[in-house]
A and B are shown apart, each in its own frame.
Chain A
Amino acid sequence: MKLLTGNDLKTGAVTWWTGRDWSIHIEDAVDVGEEGDAIGSAEEGARRVNGPVVIDAEATADGPRPAHIKHRIRALGPTVRPDLTLKPADPQAGNWVI
């Protein structure tokens, strides 16, 4: 599957295209098929995202998982600071990242 991701212009937060909007949770991301570049350009033009990029991912029971380690780290947070990730209370949260 293909995901559309970028950063929020004002906050810099990593965001994922949900089909209607942007979410900081990769679990909300949808397969954009061949539409990713077009959606990304339109959303960037409207300043709802900064630096949109289409990436490869795999659909799993727990949600989409990016193919490349860089985007897996983006999706959750730094591997060396679990307390600063999106799931600080879950020690297993990072298992799929590395």
Chain B
Amino acid sequence: MYRYDQYDQQIVDARVEEFRDQVKRRIAGHMTEDQFKPLRLKNGLYLQLHAYMLRIAIPYGTLNPAQVRMLAHVARTYDRGYAHFTTRQNMQFHWIKLEQVPDILADFAKVQLHAIQTSGESIRNISADQYAGAAADEIADPRPWAELLRQVTTFHPEFSYLPRKFKFAFTAAPGDRAAIRWHDVGLRLVRNDAGEDGFEVYAGGGMGRTPFIAELIRAFCPADRLFSYCQAILRVWNRHARRDNIHKQRMKILVHDLGVEEFTRQVEEEFAHIATLGNDPPRAEFDRIAAYFAPPPFETGLSDEIDRSDPDFALWVDRQTAAHKAPGYAIANISLKAIGGIGGDITADQMDVVADLAERYSFGETRVTHAQNVVLPHVRKADLYAVWQALVAAGLADVNLDLVTDIIACPGLDYCSLANARSIPVAQKIARRFADLERQQDLGELKIKISGCINACGHHHAGHIGILGVDRKGTENYQLLLGGSGAEDTTLAKITGPGFDEDGVVDAVEKAIETYRGLRTDGERFLDTYRRVGMEPFKEAIYG
């Protein structure tokens, strides 16, 4: 994976010192909170319900063992022994003291981690397919391009006071594990007939209170022109977005208001100008970066046989591993969705276990997923049993990838100052209701996504079953949605009808699922059945 050179390191170190200066000026009273807030947000620092919260970027979801251990160190030293993986491949620490943040950032800088542009009206952490570089179905590893784009969009002087936040996501596979069409710009690496790499560019996606699915605005942007094309998109939006209503300033609103054709026309016009300015890094820079992402030295001649004599292990293998491009290897998914636990939370001790396993069994690579789980991308099939045993000992061997208890949930009103309702307790109750593994396996792929407010950090719009927490006269109320998807068949979930209290929504989820069981044909997922039969039978079962 990528390693900083002296330039990268000096820039990140300078940011630590700049932020130290800003914190000092804030505490000394040289800045108001209104002035400080955008600066701290550009460094991932929020003021949440109980304390400051610090969000660390995990570019394209890739971590090395030293980085994982540093995350554990910070959790132990400055926080309360744990941290939380978000739905955008970041990690959040929920109990942070402002006066300690500069020292925390200095610690992170030692292992090439930072909090730059993890919040605020800036270009956010660039996310990617968590299986990149390992997946059997990708055409090439998209992360070198993501790293190139990360660099040139870091402290971009023109695009640091954008109308709103801005999110890129990358994939290089036909199957979409990165929810690219739910991003402001989604990029799929493709190869043309001449064998040249380029990108399908999708623009104008996003969740929040006005969800839109990104539309294709260019079928092939030459890869060497990616930065210029992205600058053209950003400039059109920065110049023409509304600035009078924070809820209408995301790029998706501009794309919608102009219409995708007019938006595309303006982007192409700007691109024709920007492409002449010599802003794009040369191919040699891509090659330099790509060298860091060269495939690890996979052994050859390995067997694909797995000893399945331990039935619990066999269950884990069947559910938690995915096909690897190298024979004899597998991608191993580590569930952070223990029944009754808090999805995405991981203790410092568990982080250390993950770091050790990555070092020993996965060429030092760990990935984090937008579904708030962890991945060891390159495990020899012969080592899977040892990995599983270590995970069992660490409480990390749950079997539920993409099943009904693999629930995405935002921190909700237990932590977040924006939230209207709690998300975690709803996820816990649903998980307990469906804890039985046989029942989960029988239901198959079923993605439940829960947000504690309209901002949709829990991706409820993209849930096969989505739940949105709202505030109804001071009490928590939950709306139920059906039919969303964040995969290659992206769709927007629809609200079923009136909301429920906490127990009511858990019952409603079960009714929806039982309705599916009654109606499904062989091999049909919940989402497929919903698409075939529509909302009515579900509504009837839930409200009838």
Seen from chain A, the residues whose Cβ lies within 8 Å of a Cβ on chain B are: 7, 9-14, 44, 47, 50-51, 67-70, 73-74, 77-81, 84
Query: In chain A, what residue has the closest Cβ to B80?
Result: A84
B414 with A78: CB separation less than 8 A: yes
Given the complex of chains A and B, what is the CA–CA distance between A77 and B342 in angstroms? 15
Q: Report the minimum CB–CB distance from B97 to chain A (whole Å).
A: 5
B422 with A79: CB separation less than 8 A: yes
Residues of B near A51 (CB, < 8 A) are 33, 47
Residues of A near B311 (CB, < 8 A) are none
Partner of B98, one of A9, A78, A79: A9
Q: Report the minimum CB–CB distance from B99 to chain A (whole Å).
A: 5
B 38-64 to A, binary, CB cutoff 8 A, 1 in contact else 0: 000000000111111000000000000
Interface size on B, residues (CB 8 A): 29
Residues of B near A10 (CB, < 8 A) are 27, 97-99
A11 with B51: CB separation less than 8 A: yes
B 391-416 to A, binary, CB cutoff 8 A, 1 in contact else 0: 00000000000000000000001110
B27 with A47: CB separation less than 8 A: yes
Given the complex of chains A and B, what is the CA–CA distance between A50 and B40 in angstroms? 14
A69 with B97: CB separation less than 8 A: no
Given the complex of chains A and B, what is the CA–CA distance between A11 and B27 in angstroms? 11
A14 with B49: CB separation less than 8 A: yes
Seen from chain B, the residues whose Cβ lies within 8 Å of a Cβ on chain A are: 26-27, 29, 33, 47-52, 80, 95-99, 342, 413-415, 417, 419, 422, 424-425, 428, 474-476
Query: In chain A, what residue has the closest Cβ to B421?
Result: A69
B476 with A12: CB separation less than 8 A: no
A67 with B414: CB separation less than 8 A: no
Given the complex of chains A and B, what is the CA–CA distance between A62 and B51 in angstroms? 25
Q: Report the minimum CB–CB distance from B411 to chain A (whole Å).
A: 9
Q: A50-B33, A51-B33 are in contact. Are A12 and B474 (CB under 8 A)?
A: no
Given the complex of chains A and B, what is the CA–CA distance between A78 and B417 in angstroms? 12
Q: A10-B99, A69-B476 are in contact. Are A47 and B47 (CB under 8 A)?
A: no
Extra contacts, 19 of them, besides A11-B51, A12-B98, A50-B47 (Cβ < 8 A), are: A9-B98, A10-B97, A11-B99, A12-B48, A12-B51, A12-B97, A14-B50, A50-B33, A51-B33, A51-B47, A69-B413, A78-B49, A78-B50, A78-B415, A79-B414, A79-B422, A80-B424, A80-B425, A81-B342
Partner of A11, one of B80, B97, B413: B97
Q: A50-B33, A67-B474, A79-B425 are in contact. Are A74 and B27 (CB under 8 A)?
A: no
Residues of A near B52 (CB, < 8 A) are 12
User: At the interface, is chain A mostly helix, strand, loop or mixed?
Assistant: loop
User: At the interface, is chain B mostly helix, strand, loop or mixed?
Assistant: mixed
Residues of B near A68 (CB, < 8 A) are 474
Q: Report the minimum CB–CB distance from A89 to chain B (whole Å).
A: 16
Query: In chain A, what residue has the closest Cβ to B342?
Result: A80
Residues of A near B413 (CB, < 8 A) are 69-70, 73
Query: In chain B, what residue has the closest Cβ to A44?
Result: B33
B51 with A13: CB separation less than 8 A: yes
Query: In chain A, what residue has the closest Cβ to B422?
Result: A79
Given the complex of chains A and B, what is the CA–CA distance between A74 and B27 in angstroms? 23
Given the complex of chains A and B, what is the CA–CA distance between A12 and B95 in angstroms? 8
Q: Report the minimum CB–CB distance from A49 to chain B (whole Å).
A: 10
Q: Report the minimum CB–CB distance from B273 to chain A (whole Å).
A: 43
Query: In chain A, what residue has the closest Cβ to B33?
Result: A50
Residues of B near A11 (CB, < 8 A) are 51, 97-99
Query: In chain A, what residue has the closest Cβ to B411?
Result: A78
Residues of B near A13 (CB, < 8 A) are 50-51
A47 with B29: CB separation less than 8 A: yes
Given the complex of chains A and B, what is the CA–CA distance between A77 and B27 in angstroms? 25
Q: Report the minimum CB–CB distance from B77 to chain A (whole Å).
A: 15
Residues of A near B29 (CB, < 8 A) are 47
Q: Report the minimum CB–CB distance from A52 to chain B (whole Å).
A: 10
Q: Report the minimum CB–CB distance from B50 to chain A (whole Å).
A: 6
Partner of B49, one of A74, A80, A81: A74
Q: Report the minimum CB–CB distance from A41 to chain B (whole Å).
A: 12
Q: Report the minimum CB–CB distance from A88 to chain B (whole Å).
A: 11
Given the complex of chains A and B, what is the CA–CA distance between A50 and B172 in angstroms? 45
B49 with A9: CB separation less than 8 A: no
Query: In chain B, what residue has the closest Cβ to A56?
Result: B474
